[in-house]
Amino acid sequence: MMKGDNPLMTATTDSIRQFIFGSLREMNYETDAIDNDTQLGPRGADLASLALVELALRVEDEFGVRFSEEEAEELAGKTVGEFCVIVAERLPVDTTVERAGDSA
């Protein structure tokens, strides 16, 4: 099964995409011309290095994933869609089970 055929992955990347767009608007970026194929860096959404780091931190906080400093810098060359898939692939399989285990 290809990633695009997985309805759970599609729903997950959709929610990640919505969060990214909301974050960009909060960071005062115009999102009307941005879509799945738009690069995050200078050739697309034109996020500066600090904005890319801020976006990565927001995603880390929201979804519980981590990016190294090098990975955050490489986001400039990724499209919105590619970034969503990267985040989705790093998500814990079942965060509710993980959180339930924390209370024991």
Q: What residues does each domain of the chain span?
A: 7-93
Residue 75, token pair as written in the block: 């986001």
Question: Which CATH number, 1.10.3470, 1.10.1200, 1.10.150, 1.10.10, labels domain 7-93?
Answer: 1.10.1200
From residue 19, alpha-carbon distances to 13, 60, 77 in Å are: 10, 11, 19
Q: For residues 47 and 32, give the distance between their C-alpha atoms in angstroms, rounded to a whole number.
A: 15
The predicted model gives 36-51 an average pLDDT of 92
Q: For residues 28 and 23, give the distance between their C-alpha atoms in angstroms, rounded to a whole number.
A: 9
Q: For residues 100 and 32, give the distance between their C-alpha atoms in angstroms, rounded to a whole number.
A: 39
pLDDT of residue 5: 58
pTM of this prediction exceeds 0.85: no
